[in-house]
Amino acid sequence: MIIGLASDHAGYPLKAHIYQFLKEKYIIKDYGCANAVDSVDYPSFAQAVCEDLIEVKIQRGLLVCGSGVGMSLAANRFKGIRAVLCQDLLTARLSREHNNANVLCLGNWLVTAKLSEEILNIWLNTNFAGGRHIDRIEMLD
């Protein structure tokens, strides 16, 4: 699986941790940003990941900012993107099972490195349940 990973400056520390955590199991395409010092605009990074996800150049997207809210708002502007902001394990599982979320947003200020690993393991390894949920997802698109 190819995963697109991006952050703004506020999310950079968690993004760097996530990259190290996932690089042995997945192909990670890093969209930036490059550091936590230079201020950047999160919508540009969300757009780059979402466009490649829509064009099937990647299979999932991971976006990180300070709270995760900005990235989730930016990502959900794109048709076919189902971005979810997760801060717990249940939301991670249900977002995949029920909503077939294809972008995970995390907040560096709100999620520890250890919790991000647990969320990622669940989110990346939970399958979409299908069934009655398909009609609901189609309604979103």
98 among known catalytic residues? yes
Catalytic residue (choose from 65, 86, 105, 133):
65
pLDDT more than 90, % of the chain: 93
Burial, 59: exposed, middle or buried (Cβ in 10 Å; 0-12, 13-18, 19+)? middle
Query: Residue 140: its pLDDT value, please?
Result: 82
Q: How far apart are CA 68 and CA 61, in angstroms?
A: 13
pLDDT at 93 over 80: yes
- Note if 86 is an active site residue: no
pTM of the model: 0.96
126 DSSP 8-state letter = P
Per-domain boundaries in the chain: 2-140
| Measured distance CA(116)–CA(15) in Å, rounded | 10
Digit-coded pLDDT (tens) for 35-88:
999 999 999 999 999 999 999 999 999 999 999 999 999 999 999 999 999 999
CATH of domain 2-140: 3.40.1400.10
Contact predicate 4/29, CB 8 Å: yes
15-24 pLDDT tens trace = 999 999 999 9
